[in-house]
């Protein structure tokens, strides 16, 4: 297929749903061949069939980013079949939320295993191939990696960590010809807000008002364009851009507004532990 990524191989973690699946389709439209990695292989196989029906090529790879040997096996298979990697997107992630007083260290550890160490392991598992191709590495961070919100300490701190990781990589890889793009989405349509703190799908509808939520397809088009242009950062959604801009310009304003909007309500969201008031 012709397109901006014709003949290039793209490896995406978390390709079985949401942003990862939409990005895979968009890369296929741009001519790329796809290595699709996630734990739910049936979903990946269905996506691979869709991509092949569009005239593209895709490989479904069962992979858990919290297990390095699983990532290494997926990368080895992709390289064996496609001959190398040109673009890698560390996208797999989920959200552990709740007021900090109701959580434990273990909640943070579980969150960081996927959202932080999963990203770092994806980087090291694919680095030799990206160095060879002078390719592109992208991290899916979040607006929550730029602006802290109440009742989300594990997710927010995991995203601040990977945003920092991506910014450092940008400098460390620049002389080696590998570009690094940090993608920071605001609200995008996906399953993320229907997944509980243990990473299980609950089927609950998205509580975010739909007028604030961008379609995964539109987000994917912006992601593919930004990665193609080797942009250091892409912020997705108008609301996301506005929050990051105001937070950079005047963080105290965001703090005051957030405090006013949530005063007295944060502790009602979950049963509080550690001697804090219970809702």
Ligand X SMILES: NC(=O)c1ccc[n+]([C@@H]2O[C@H](COP(=O)([O-])OP(=O)(O)OC[C@H]3O[C@@H](n4cnc5c(N)ncnc54)[C@H](OP(=O)(O)O)[C@@H]3O)[C@@H](O)[C@H]2O)c1
User: Would you name the residues annotated as active-site residues?
Assistant: 155
Least Å distance, CB 15 to ligand X, is: 6
Residue among 96, 169, 188, 235 that touches ligand X (CB under 6 A): 188
With respect to ligand X, which residue has the nearer C-beta, 61 or 272? 61
DSSP string, 4-42: TTTT-EEEEESTTSHHHHHHHHHHHHTT-EEEEEES-HH
182: closest CA among 139, 145, 146? Answer: 139
- Site for ligand X contains 39 (CB under 6 A): yes
Which one among 9, 97, 111, 114 touches ligand X, defined by CB under 6 A? 114
Site size for ligand X (CB under 6 A): 31
**Residue 222 is a binding residue for ligand X (CB under 6 A):** no
Q: How far apart are CA 73 and CA 77, in angstroms?
A: 6
60 binds ligand X (CB under 6 A): no
| 194 burial type by CB count under 10 A (0-12 exposed, 13-18 middle, 19+ buried) | middle
Q: Which position among 11, 20, 36, 153 is part of the footprint of ligand X (CB under 6 A)?
A: 20
Task: Give 20 or 226: the residue with its C-beta nearer to ligand X.
Answer: 20
**270 — phi, psi (to 5°)?**
-150, 155
Of 49 and 271, the one with the shorter C-beta distance to ligand X is 49
Give the E-state strand segments of the chain in sequence order: 9-13, 33-38, 58-62, 87-90, 136-140, 179-185, 233-236
Which residues contact ligand X (rule: CB under 6 A)?
13-14, 16-20, 38-40, 43, 63-66, 91-94, 114, 118, 140, 142, 185, 187-188, 190-192, 195, 199
């Amino acid at each position: 297929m012709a397109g901006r990524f014709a003949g290039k191989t793209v490896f995406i973690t978390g390709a079985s749903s949401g942003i990862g699946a939409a990005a895979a389709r968009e890369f296929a439209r741009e001519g790329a061949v796809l290595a699709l990695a996630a734990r739910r292989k049936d979903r990946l196989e269905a996506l691979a069939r869709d991509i092949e029906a569009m005239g593209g090529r895709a490989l479904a790879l069962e992979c858990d980013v919290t297990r390095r040997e699983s990532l290494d096996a997926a990368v080895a298979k992709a390289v064996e079949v496609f001959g190398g990697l040109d673009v890698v997107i560390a996208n797999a992630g989920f959200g552990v939320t709740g007021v900090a007083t109701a959580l434990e260290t273990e909640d943070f550890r579980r969150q960081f295993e996927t959202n932080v160490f999963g990203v770092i392991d994806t980087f090291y598992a694919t680095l030799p191939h990206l160095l060879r191709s002078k390719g592109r590495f992208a991290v899916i961070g979040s607006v929550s990696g730029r602006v802290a919100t109440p009742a989300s300490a594990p997710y927010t701190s995991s995203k601040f960590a990977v945003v920092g990781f991506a910014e450092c990589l940008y400098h460390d890889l620049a002389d080696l010809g590998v570009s690094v793009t940090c993608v920071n989405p605001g609200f995008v349509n996906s399953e993320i807000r229907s997944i509980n703190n243990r990473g299980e799908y609950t089927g609950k509808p998205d509580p975010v008002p739909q007028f604030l939520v961008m379609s995964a397809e539109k987000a994917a088009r912006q992601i593919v364009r930004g990665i193609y242009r080797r942009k250091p950062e892409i912020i997705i959604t108008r609301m996301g851009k506005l929050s990051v801009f105001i937070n950079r310009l005047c963080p105290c304003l965001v703090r005051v507004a957030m405090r006013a909007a949530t005063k007295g309500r944060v502790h009602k969201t979950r049963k509080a532990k550690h001697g804090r008031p219970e809702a």
